[in-house]
Amino acid sequence: MPGKKHLHIESSGQLCIYCGACVGVCPLNCVYLDETRITFDEKICTRCEICVKACPVGAIEIG
């Protein structure tokens, strides 16, 4: 989407520990954890970056 930042989640397993902190903190319910895969609904996400802060290991980047 033009003008909107892109979400990038480090999902190769190098950083993400699939703890679900990002899922619980999302005010819009647009982060999903499915065993070892985390996905964002980019259409809903407003880039508030709360999940970025909540991630204990820094696996989420918005850039």
Residues at the interface with another protein (CB under 8 A): 17-25, 27, 29, 33-35, 50, 52-58, 60-61
* Residue 8 and residue 49 in contact, taking contact as beta carbons nearer than 8 Å: no
Which tokens in the block code for residue 18? Answer: 């699939």
One-letter amino acid of 58? G
CA distances from 4 to 1, 23, 36, 59, 62 (A): 6, 21, 27, 20, 10
Shortest Å, Cβ 57 to another protein: 5
Taking the complex as a whole, how short is the minimal distance between the CB of residue 1 and another protein, in angstroms? 23
11 versus 23: smaller Cβ distance to another protein = 23
Min CB(51)–another protein separation in Å: 10
